[in-house]
Structure 1
Amino acid sequence: MLASTEGIVLRLIKYGESSVIATIFTREFGRQSFIINSVRKKKSKTKAGFLQPLFLVDLVTYQKQSREVQRTKEIKNTPVYQNIPFDIVKSTQAVFLAEMLYKTINEEESYPEMFDFIKNALLLFDFMEKNLANFHLYFLYRLTEYLGFFPDTTRQAFENWFDLKKGTVVPYEPSHPLFMNKEVTAYFCTLSTLKFHEIAELKIPRRIRETLLEKLIEYYNLHFEHLGEIKSLKVLQEVFE
């Protein structure tokens, strides 16, 4: 069956001398792997450089349910980012978020609401001009809604702790280590009140940002046993230093 769909590139690995296998989160079919031939040849119309982490694509694919790796008839990078590939802070966050998405999106079925959330968030991020370092925090917070473990932050933030195990703000310090302290919880709850266009106004001290990201990853780990080491995290931390 020949089908058209939008996609978001999650990972790219070399295959043979000139081809690649791309893991792409598609709007119509969920997460799928595609073999894309000859993109590493000099004269190829489609270059592997246009299939970087979180790049948006349109593709025409030969869909066959019994096949683990689908084949593509056409693929093009669209819409084209204006800033993400050329800004070290943005591109590093894109690589980090692509790894997080690769490890958390496993379903081979359509989830258009999550696809549209990710796509729209990336298009807004592409044009953000200030306070770029907080985007990945807000993105990971909002993504939990689509992954099924959206946190409950309805309690008064400045008087409570966020319990990662319970997924809610509690009025006492938990007896286990999986929680955010009062200061970090306050910023975490602030994330819950923001819209995407308000991220640029959010100011978080570097020390708090680092702890908040650490705790968000711990929160994800509680829901994905095989999340493992996030290899791009170290590069992200170095860029922010």
Structure 2
Amino acid sequence: AWSMIAKTTGIVLHTLRYGESSLIVHAYTEHFGRISLMAKGVRNEKKPGRAALLQPLRIISMEIYYKPSREIQILKEFASALPEQFQLPDPVKGAVSLFMAELLYKVLREEEPNEPMFRFLYQSVLQLNRLQKGTANYHLFFAVHLTKYLGFFPSGNFDEYHCFFDGTSGKFVEQLKASVNAMPQEESALLATLMNLSPQNLENVYLNGIQRSRFLDEIIKFYQIHLEGMGKIRSIDVLREVFSANRES
């Protein structure tokens, strides 16, 4: 079967150590959708910093030896496509990035290009990178808006009569019509707020760690109804730790 050298941009979702100095990288790319790549020798001590470019949610431009019949493609060259990305260590942005990358790793399955999805993800990483305030709520905003591109964005409006979001039907409903999968009223109200918010206004959404945790649990439940076999999101525990340590966020 033929192979070619292809250039594309990708967002790192997950990496796995392989052998003594290599990594297997799962990424979501502009031209191929989800892809698995072998990054040979990147953990070599002679090239410090190379593996750091492949951390979750990093955007990289890459050249790959691409062969359609191969399960794992070979990463030939790569560089940061956003040199300013997360230059200053920020524990909140770091935890939010881990969550976003893990969520994408669990839900993105298409091995074919999806330009609207890629554009949304690229813009989301840019937004998180540039956001000065409200970063502690960004993962909630992201999880809500990602559903648009996965095909189950909530419909209807939250109002005094329809104040429970029902995950099964994907609609805001009256209390009597709410199924066992309905979000409590407080979380339903927050969902409606996040659906209609621009990221610049996230700093005006005042939530404590408990409210964030509750909403995150509810939105993940909503995902699990619509995506079979999604499994548990482990980085939620990291988020809880970071938010309890950073009281002001």
Task: Decide: shared fold, TM above 0.5.
Answer: yes
The correspondence for 1:199, drawn from 197, 202, 205, is 202
> C-alpha displacement at 1:82, in angstroms?
4.2
Gaps of 5+ in 1: none
The correspondence for 2:163, drawn from 147, 160, 163, is 160
Pair 234,45 (structure 1): closer, same or farther in 2 beyond 3 Å:
closer
Distance 1:153 1:135 in 2: 23
Say which is worse superposed, 189-198 or 91-100, in terms of deviation. Answer: 189-198
The correspondence for 1:65, drawn from 64, 68, 74, is 68
Distance 2:175 2:188 in 1: 12
What CA RMSD, in Å, does the superposition of the two structures yield over aligned residues?
1.8
Distance 1:84 1:123 in 2: 13
1:97 aligns with 2:88: no
Pair 157,24 (structure 1): closer, same or farther in 2 beyond 3 Å:
farther
> C-alpha displacement at 1:158, in angstroms?
7.2
Decide whether the 8 Å contact of 2:8 with 2:63 is kept in 1.
yes
> C-alpha displacement at 1:80, in angstroms?
2.3
Percent same amino acid among aligned pairs? Answer: 37
Partner in structure 1 of residue 247 of structure 2? none
Partner in structure 1 of residue 32 of structure 2? 29
Distance 1:71 1:46 in 2: 20
> What is the TM-score when the length of structure 2 is the normalising length?
0.91
Distance 1:197 1:173 in 2: 36
Pair 84,121 (structure 1): closer, same or farther in 2 beyond 3 Å:
farther
Question: Which structure 2 residues correspond to residues 176-191 of structure 1 after superposition, within 5 A?
Answer: 176-191=179-194
Gaps of 5+ in 2: 245-249
> What is the TM-score when the length of structure 1 is the normalising length?
0.94
Distance 1:139 1:84 in 2: 21
Distance 1:107 1:229 in 2: 20
The correspondence for 2:23, drawn from 12, 20, 23, is 20
- 1:129 partner SS: coil
Decide whether the 8 Å contact of 2:24 with 2:38 is kept in 1.
yes
> C-alpha displacement at 1:159, in angstroms?
4.8
> C-alpha displacement at 1:204, in angstroms?
2.6
